[in-house]
Structures are given as C-alpha cells and as structure tokens.
Amino acid sequence: MPRRMRDEESNDSPLGRGKGRQALGWVMNWGADPPRRCAPPLRGGDFQRSAILSFTRREFIWKAGAGLIGGAVTTGFYAWRIEPHWVEVVEHSLPVAHLPAALVGKRLIQISDLHVGPRVDDGYLMATLDRVRDLRPDLLAITGDFVSYRSAGTLQQLDRVLSHLPRGKRATLAILGNHDYGYGWSQVIVADQITARLRHLGVVVLRNERCTVDGLEVVGLDDFWGPHFSPQKVMSGLETTRPALVLCHNPDAVDRPVWGGYRGWILSGHTHGGQCKPPFLPPPILPTRNKRYTAGEFDLGNGRRLYINRGLGHLIQVRFNARPEVTVFTLDRA
C-alpha cells in the first residue's frame, strides 16, 4: 500500500530539501567545532547604557585613586610641617600629700625634650619658650634631653635657645636625659658642660640630688640610660611623710626597685608620645621597655603616679597624633 507522506517530510518539498542539505552538512563537517552563535547586535539604548556604566566605573576608580593619593600627600605634609610645631598646652591638677599652704594653687610648668641640634628649628624652640614665659610659671621643671648632641656647635646652639629660657618665680629645676650624655649616652664631659650652662643661668640641675622649694622636696634623678643613674641614696634619704615630687627623664626607671616607700608623683619625658600614633592604636615605635608608658598619666600603684610629657622637640621631623606639649600643673593638697 502506498505510504502517504506529509508535505513537509517529502524530499521534493522545500523543507525536505533543506533538511537533506543540513544532514549532508553535518556529515561533511563531522568532528569540526560546533557552530558559534553570534550575540545579537546592541540596540541604541543598550549601547548607551553600556558606555555609561563603563565610564562610571573608570571615573570611580580614577577618583578613588586620586583621593587616596591626595589624602596621603595631605597627611604627610601635616605630619612633617604642621604637627611637629603645633604645641599643645595641657592643663592638669597635681595633688601632693601634705603640700604646704604656700604652694596650694601655684602653677608648675613642665617642658621636656627640646633636642636642640640639627633637626629642630631654633626659632620654633625660642618662640615656644617665650610662650611658656607668658604662662607665668611659679615653678618650671625641665625633664631632660636639652640637646641632640653632634659637636661643640650644638652647645653654641643651646646657648642661643637658652637665652629665651623662662624662669619660675619660685624655682627653675632641671634634670638630664640620655641625649645630654652625647654619643652612646656616655660622654660625661658633654653632660657636665650642659649642666654648667644651666647653672650659670640660675637653673637648679639635680643629678641624683634633691632640693626644697617652699617646703616641697623635689628629687631629680640622673638619666636611666646614662652612666650615673644612682637613685638609691637620694631616695632612701627621702622622708615619706614630707611632701615630695620626683623628676625622672626615662619612665622605665619607675619599674626599678629603687623607690622605697615613696608615695607621690614622678614627672618624665623621653617618649615624645611615640611621635606617630595611629588613632585608637599604640604607637608602633616607643623608646621604652615597658610599652605601656606612652604619654599622659599612669597609676603605678602603691601611691605612686607617673606623668609623661610628650616633649617639644623630635629626633625626626614628623609627628602624628602626638603633638608637642607644654604641661601646666596646678598644685593642690591631696
């Protein structure tokens, strides 16, 4: 019986002939790569949207990069040229047990770490000392590192800067820091020359010694890293019932077993506050063994309290989040 074929399946139909040619093509191209499909051409609106998105991404990346570079340059300029000379005056109470009535309410100003030498501008230091004079200190305490010693010329620079040194109405007191001992903290002759200059100006330089100012015992320790650190004798002779205050350049000394029964304040410098301190983080570089001692007030326990001044000078002209400091203490009775 003849089989009926649909028109689309007939080889004589156009569709049938097309299928035959397609089948023959598959046979001839057996093993070749499959045919690729071309993406449909972009319509006008699609092309515009793609171009806008591409431009927006490029613009964002360019602006973000420029912002980062600009922020880094601005921060670097600030840390190099602005903050190293932007002095902060910090006010702080200083309660002292049994403080004589004559000193209650009086002003003790602490400055530290001038680092006169090749890296700190003399004009900046002299202007800062003039500003301290305007604060009218009753007592002035300088806690070491007058110089960054390089040669005899450093001492001539020191003479120029010290010509602007203010005086306390009741006393001007000082101790030495490690840099005041020259290279390797071991040149005693340099320390002696600095001491002589200060004493010539009426400054009381305490080197493991103490003095009395209107009934207040002030102890000055020689530098912890220097060759003459010897606090035992001066501390052992201190009466614990008398009002007292200790000046000690390097705060690491407070952890040494040399304090006996002392109860009171210890004023230090040395750290510069780390000079660069990331927000909410400790400074990455600190010249102390005890990394707790950065700047400001610390409770040491057993009735002792430590205050670390951030200093005026620097070893490298860069500060960030650690401004140079003048500390204005108001004496009070504890």
- How much is the pLDDT for 269? 98
Least confident stretch, 66-70, 92-96, 190-194, 196-200? 66-70
Q: What percent of the chain has pLDDT over 70?
A: 79
Task: Determine contact, residues 84/324, Cβ cutoff 8 Å.
Answer: yes
Question: What does the pLDDT average to over 10-22?
Answer: 45
Task: Determine contact, residues 145/111, Cβ cutoff 8 Å.
Answer: no
Average pLDDT, the chain: 87
pLDDT band at 70 (very low <50, low <70, confident <90, very high): low
Give me the residues paired with residue 331 across strands. 94
Question: What does the pLDDT average to over 229-257?
Answer: 95
- How much is the pLDDT for 40? 53
224 residue type, one letter: F
Q: Is the pLDDT of residue 17 over 60?
A: no
- Residue 3's SS3 state is coil
pLDDT one-digit tens code per residue, 139-187: 999 999 999 999 999 999 999 999 999 999 999 999 999 999 999 999 9
Q: In the chain, where are the structural domains located?
A: 88-333
- How much is the pLDDT for 191? 98
Report the C-alpha gap between 25 and 15 in whole angstroms.
15
Here the contacts of 124-131 (C-beta below 8 Å, separation 24 or greater) are 124/85, 125/161, 125/164, 125/312, 125/313, 126/160, 126/161, 126/163, 126/164, 128/87, 128/312, 128/324, 128/326, 129/161, 129/164, 129/165, 129/166, 130/164, 130/166, 131/87, 131/326
pLDDT band at 73 (very low <50, low <70, confident <90, very high): confident
3-state per-residue secondary structure call for 154-193: HHHHHHHHHCCCCCCCCEEEEECCHHHHCHHHCCHHHHHH
Report the C-alpha gap between 41 and 43 in whole angstroms.
6
Regarding the domain delimited by 88-333, which CATH topology (the fold level of the hierarchy) does it fall under? Purple Acid Phosphatase; chain A, domain 2 (3.60.21)
Q: Is the pLDDT of residue 20 over 50?
A: no
Task: Determine contact, residues 228/208, Cβ cutoff 8 Å.
Answer: yes
Q: Which of 199, 96, 94, 180 is nearest to 137 (CA)?
A: 94
pLDDT band at 118 (very low <50, low <70, confident <90, very high): very high
Least confident stretch, 138-147, 173-182, 245-254, 275-284? 275-284
Q: Which of 260, 205, 257 is nearest to 238 (CA)?
A: 260
Q: Of residues 298 and 41, which shows the higher confidence score?
A: 298
- How much is the pLDDT for 4? 41
- How much is the pLDDT for 69? 73
pTM check: above 0.75: yes
